[in-house]
């Protein structure tokens, strides 16, 4: 690869970002191939992560709607929301109203951050009773032993951490358990809805891109930008 061409890429992408892929002293062509492979892996994980996030918030919403007998359950004391969750509800409503949109339940649910939904399984909500209720109601297809709040909390924290790395374009190719994390996402989707899992599998390309490794990206780089003599 032409060194000047790589330098231009390094400048626009930021040297610090490329450095994450050459900590072992890798040559520029290998560092760039690793970067592209990471982009591709993040792309393949976007679909299952997005589906898991949407499935969780809708499962919690349905369960809380049934418990509180209203689709605006988040406004009721019976929802036992934590103070920061109440603040997020207020902020979501203000954002919608500022945009001239009605604060319908559907829009409110979509506006809340992922952490709002995953936090229902933490230690605090174990004390409110809401966590135990949702563990049973939101995951109808989960094995009984997997509805333990500590296990669910750890599981969703892990999924959320990977989601944040993928959505913020950070490095993930160094995770030795990345395939296991991918399997965990799929399994969790299946706990909510086997039909949704089937749809997710239909568009899931992670196994193929993961197994192919970095070599296809090396081949593309050398074919598209051959070394200049």
Burial (0-12, 13-18, 19+ Cβ within 10 Å), 184: middle
| Domain locations in the chain as residue ranges | 34-224
What's the pTM value of the predicted model, to 2 decimals? 0.92
Under the banding of pLDDT at 50, 70 and 90, the label for residue 1 is: low
Nearest to 92 by CA among 118, 114, 70, 76: 114
Give the angle 113-117-119 at the CA atoms, nearest 5°. 110
Instruction: Tell me what pLDDT residue 228 has.
Output: 57
Q: Please answer whether residues 34 and 214 qualify as being in contact, where contact means their C-beta atoms are separated by less than 8 angstroms.
A: yes
The per-residue pLDDT for range 74-94, each reduced to its tens digit, is 999 999 999 999 999 999 999
């Amino acid at each position: 690869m032409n060194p000047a061409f790589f330098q231009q890429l390094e400048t626009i992408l930021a040297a610090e970002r490329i450095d994450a892929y050459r900590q072992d002293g890798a040559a520029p062509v290998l560092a760039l191939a690793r970067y592209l492979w990471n982009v591709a892996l993040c792309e393949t994980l976007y679909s299952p992560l997005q589906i898991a996030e949407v499935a969780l918030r809708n499962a919690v919403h349905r369960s809380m709607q049934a418990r509180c007998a209203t689709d605006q359950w988040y406004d009721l004391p019976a929802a036992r929301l934590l103070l920061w969750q109440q603040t997020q509800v207020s902020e979501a409503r203000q954002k919608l109203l500022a945009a001239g949109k009605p604060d319908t339940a559907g829009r409110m649910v979509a506006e809340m951050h992922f952490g709002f939904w995953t936090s229902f399984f933490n230690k605090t909500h174990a004390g409110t009773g809401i966590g135990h209720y949702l563990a049973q109601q939101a995951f109808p297809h989960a094995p009984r032993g997997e509805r333990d709040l500590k296990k669910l909390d750890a599981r969703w924290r892990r999924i959320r951490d990977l989601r944040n790395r993928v959505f913020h374009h950070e490095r993930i190719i160094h995770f030795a358990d990345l395939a296991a994390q991918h399997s965990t996402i799929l399994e969790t989707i299946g706990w909510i809805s086997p039909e949704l899992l089937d749809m997710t599998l239909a568009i899931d390309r992670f196994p193929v891109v993961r197994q192919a490794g970095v070599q296809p990206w090396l081949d593309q780089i050398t074919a598209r930008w051959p070394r200049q003599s």
